[in-house]
Amino acid sequence: IAGITQAPTSQILAAGRRMTLRCTQDMRHNAMYWYRQDLGLGLRLIHYSNTAGTTGKGEVPDGYSVSRANTDDFPLTLASAVPSQTSVYFCASSEWMGQGYEQYFGPGTRLTVT
């Protein structure tokens, strides 16, 4: 592994189903993030984690949950998917969360909720 991986690459999901998007990084970065990207809008932060064991809410956290049991993994769970959660989801990481630290992104997961 080099960088950040996400799984699945794409998914079609029935409304009401539970889904976990996986994210793994091998850079030993402390901070990790989940964004969603919708057409015509900038990336919007869903949840973040400053370091293993801590998480925080971003701009659009409703309907999503995260956990950070270790440094490398940061899964995003949709408890009961709704069509408005159709989007492209990007996981990212940075060495720290402070000023000036570059964020590195995974390849994204394209999720369609029907």
Closest distance to other proteins from the beta carbon of 26 (Å): 16
Closest distance to other proteins from the beta carbon of 40 (Å): 6
Beta strands 109-113 and 10-13: pairing type?
parallel
In the bound state with other proteins, the residue whose beta carbon lies nearer, of 14 and 41, is 41
Residues pairing with 44 in the sheet: 36
Convert 47-88 into a string of H (helix), E (strand) and C (coil).
EEECCCCCCEECCCCCCEEECCCCCCECCEEECCCCHHHCEE
Question: For residue 8, which of 111, 85, 113 has the smallest C-alpha distance?
Answer: 111
In the bound state with other proteins, the residue whose beta carbon lies nearer, of 83 and 107, is 107
Closest distance to other proteins from the beta carbon of 47 (Å): 11
DSSP state of 96: -
Provide the binding-site residues for other proteins, judged by CB under 8 A.
Answer: 35, 40-45, 48, 58-59, 90, 97-100, 102-103, 105-108
In the bound state with other proteins, the residue whose beta carbon lies nearer, of 13 and 44, is 44
Closest distance to other proteins from the beta carbon of 44 (Å): 7
In the bound state with other proteins, the residue whose beta carbon lies nearer, of 85 and 93, is 93
Dist. CA 111–CA 52, nearest whole Å: 26
